[in-house]
Amino acid sequence: MSKKKRNLRDINIEEHKGEHAHDDGHKHSSSERISKFKTYLPAIFSFVMLIVGITIDYFDALPYFKDWIRIVYYTAAYLPVGFPVIKEGWNSIKNGDFFTEFFLMSIATLGAFAIGEYPEGVAVMLFYAVGELFQNAAVNRAKGNIKALLDVRPNEALVFRDGEFISVNPETVAIGEKIQVRVGEKVPLDGMLLSEKGSFNTAALTGESKPDTIAKDEKVFAGSINLDGVIEVETTKEFKDSSIARILDMVQNATARKSKTELFIRKFARIYTPIVVFLAIGLTFLPYFFVDGYVFREWLYRALIFLVISCPCALVISIPLGYFGGLGAASRNGILFKGASFLDTMTKVNTVVMDKTGTVTKGVFKIKGVVNSSAFTEAEFMQYLMSMEEQSTHPIAKAILEYKAEGADFEATEVSEVAGKGLKGTVNGKTVLVGNKALMTSNKIEVNSQTDGIVESIVMVAIDGKFAGYVTIADELKADAHQAIKQIRESGISKIIMLSGDKDSITQQIAKELKIDWAKGGLLPEDKLNEVEKLKKQLDTKVAFIGDGINDAPVLAASDVGIAMGGLGSDVAIETADVIIQNDQPSKIARAIQIGRSTRRIVWQNIGLAFGVKVLVMALGAFGMATMWEAVFADVGVALLAILNAIRLQKMVWHS
């Protein structure tokens, strides 16, 4: 296989590092045009020579255009496109690889010259060269999404050292250092925002064009572009561990993870090519023993046609290009597949299992309601509760502390944690209990009976031995949660299941609201793993699990396809999952399924097109009913059609 085609399979991102770093825009554009012209010049020269030669032949315009003059003319037309192929074929033979498409094309075209079919020999090699040019253009286009990611790879960081901000290589910045990012610059490393707020373009990371506004002490990711004012960031990761570096590494590795179809075609080509060479030899000589009036030149011509037709270019070019186009289209939509094999597997998924918190809900708790006894105003009640929760690090405590209470702040003392139940302490000289019903029961506090029917998480408060009230805490659904479930169903998924570590009553309520088929709550990570293992044992069941990539790591690894939400913020997600939804939107799950199916459909269209046309024209060629021109269409024409079909993936729009 050619170096170009090998590169299509094993694209090396490193070759593009920093290629835009120092170029002047106009010079770069001008040099690109010159480079393209030089690339196409041999094909243009051969094409003009071929057309002129055929015209002279057809009209018999020049009486002396024959014999050695004609041979020299067509040889001159042949060499610009033929010599590189013959050279590549010879190098392959020296390396022990005899049966390549270079070998087939060289034998077929040199054979055409040997029997005096000079225009056809030039035409075959010319159109093969044009096919190569189309292939390269398609590969470069497919690389565009990865190059776009490389363009957001930061080249410098302004780090605060010795009382001033100095420009350094991002790889030299340590964790905990302070960096400055000006308007329009890329954030060089992952970190925590020190400024009050910032607005960022994260399109290259998440596929979302809408600016993302981030508040102080929130995470900022490398590769984001600062849109508004000079900001300062405290780094939390080294450059090599930053989000953009990890994503680039993952995309690079994705091209090396082949689908079963791709691997099969590669193995098939290695067996198929020598077979057709020996069949061509047989087609040349065997008729001598069975056909009356055997003419060597006629059967050699048929064999040469057979060789041209049988070249597996369309398959070995278009199939890897199709899968790579699918990977690129997915990354453009904020979805990262770790390999073409997962594009394939995604098309077979019929059961989707999802976590609740962080997947369909925001994972951010908020107070839904406050109920207090008549002994205290709501403000007083909340001051007692908040003074206690200040001593806790629980996520629910954080939600309570966001409540805006009026009046003087209270201070809690002698606070102790009652394992699995809540907190006990003293506020304003009063004994305060904050926690669940078990805490109240163990301290013989009579609780209002209306709390029994509450589904949401509930925090109860008792002051000086009397029930003082409660707050309900709920996790919010993501904005596109309903839309996501609807689209997953419309994409043909037969069963949607929710497994959550949250209490079962809350899980069931969310599942009912989203119209999920079956749900189970109160599960530990190993319980989720057991449930998914049971599903996988069912006949014809392919399971995709969607989780946040941290506590769901075991089940992400065990499922047929593991999909992680919020991959930018979770190292475990990037390591464990097969597919990363970069912007945390569950509606992208259906999009991932659509892209996988579109990719597979185009790949199989190309396989059907290549085999169908080739088998038909090979049969016609063997019976003398096809010329070298039909062979050119069957080989190069089909390859071009397959390439153009694969390119469609890069322009497709999937509507959610």
Instruction: Give the tens place of pLDDT for each residue, 435-462.
Output: 888 889 889 888 887 777 787 778 999 9
Burial classification of residue 35, based on how many CB atoms lie within 10 Å of its CB (0-12 exposed, 13-18 middle, 19 or more buried): exposed
Judging by DSSP bridges, how do beta strands 351-354 and 212-215 pair with one another? unpaired
485 and 591 together in one domain = yes
230 and 267 together in one domain = no
Count the domains in the chain.
Answer: 5
- Could you tell me the pLDDT band of residue 598, with boundaries at 50, 70 and 90? very high
Amino acid 349: pLDDT: 93
Which domain does 228 fall in, by range? 175-237
| pLDDT, tens digit (0-9, with 9 covering 90-100), for 280-290 | 899 899 999 98
The amino acid occupying position 377 is T
pLDDT value at 559 more than 80: yes
Residue 170 belongs to a domain: no
144 and 292 together in one domain = no
Residue 162 belongs to a domain: no
Higher pLDDT, 501 or 298: 298
The structure tokens listed for 592 are: 């991932």
The structure tokens listed for 57 are: 């032949």
Q: How far apart are the C-alpha atoms of 90 and 101, rounded to whole Å? A: 12
430 and 416 together in one domain = yes
pLDDT value at 70 more than 70: yes
pLDDT value at 140 more than 70: no
Q: How far apart are the C-alpha atoms of 477 and 466, rounded to whole Å? A: 35
Residue 12 belongs to a domain: no
Amino acid 4: pLDDT: 37
pLDDT value at 80 more than 90: yes
494 and 589 together in one domain = yes
Range from 112-126, 356-370, 622-636 carrying the lowest mean pLDDT: 622-636
Residue 397 belongs to a domain: yes
**C-alpha 74, offset from chain centre:** 47
Residue 399 belongs to a domain: yes
Residue 404 belongs to a domain: yes
482 and 357 together in one domain = yes
Residue 7 belongs to a domain: no
- Strands (E) located in 554-640: 561-565, 579-581
Of 427, 449, 476, the residue at which a domain comes to its end is: 476
Catalytic residue (choose from 355, 552, 560, 635): 355
45 and 140 together in one domain = yes
Q: Name the percent of the chain in helix, strand, coil, to the closest 5.
A: 55, 20, 30
- Could you tell me the pLDDT band of residue 622, with boundaries at 50, 70 and 90? confident
Q: How far apart are the C-alpha atoms of 230 and 185, rounded to whole Å? A: 10
The structure tokens listed for 266 are: 């590669």
Q: How many CB atoms lie within 10 A of CB 496?
A: 20
- Could you tell me the pLDDT band of residue 211, with boundaries at 50, 70 and 90? confident
Amino acid 252: pLDDT: 57
Contact call for residues 427 and 390 (beta carbons, < 8 A): no
- Strands (E) located in 250-354: 335-337, 351-354
We report the CATH number of the domain holding residue 395 as 3.40.1110.10
Of 447, 476, 505, the residue at which a domain comes to its end is: 476
47 and 123 together in one domain = yes
419 and 486 together in one domain = no
Burial classification of residue 75, based on how many CB atoms lie within 10 Å of its CB (0-12 exposed, 13-18 middle, 19 or more buried): middle
Higher pLDDT, 163 or 642: 163
| pLDDT, tens digit (0-9, with 9 covering 90-100), for 10-19 | 333 333 333 3
266 and 207 together in one domain = no
Q: Is 70 helix (H, G, I), strand (E, B) or coil?
A: helix
- Could you tell me the pLDDT band of residue 203, with boundaries at 50, 70 and 90? low
We report the CATH number of the domain holding residue 188 as 2.70.150.10
We report the CATH number of the domain holding residue 522 as 3.40.50.1000
- Could you tell me the pLDDT band of residue 599, with boundaries at 50, 70 and 90? very high
Amino acid 148: pLDDT: 55
Beta bridge partners of 180: 158, 232
For the chain, percent of residues with pLDDT exceeding 90 = 24
Average the pLDDT over 244-265 and give the result.
63
Amino acid 470: pLDDT: 92
185 and 290 together in one domain = no
What's the count of helices (H) and strands (E) in the chain, helices before strands?
Answer: 23, 22
348 and 488 together in one domain = yes
For the chain, percent of residues with pLDDT exceeding 70 = 83
The structure tokens listed for 607 are: 């396989």
Judging by DSSP bridges, how do beta strands 191-193 and 219-220 pair with one another? antiparallel
Residue 89 belongs to a domain: yes
- Tokens 């011509």 identify what position? 301
Judge whether 480 counts as a catalytic residue.
no
Amino acid 534: pLDDT: 92
For Cα atoms 136, 142, 144, give the angle at the middle one, nearest 5 degrees. Answer: 110
Amino acid 641: pLDDT: 83
What is the separation, in whole angstroms, between the first and last Cα of the chain? 39
Model-level pTM greater than 0.75?
Answer: no
pLDDT value at 393 more than 90: no
Exposure letters 238-251 (e unless 16+ CB within 10 A, then b): bbeebbbbbbbebb
Of 572, 596, 620, the residue at which a domain comes to its end is: 596
Amino acid 232: pLDDT: 94
Amino acid 192: pLDDT: 93
Give me the chain's average pLDDT, please.
81
Check the CA dihedral 623-624-629-632 and report its sign: positive
Length reported for the chain: 656
- Could you tell me the pLDDT band of residue 397, with boundaries at 50, 70 and 90? confident
Exposure letters 415-450 (e unless 16+ CB within 10 A, then b): beebeebbbbbebeeeebbbbbbebbeeeebeeeee
Amino acid 434: pLDDT: 93
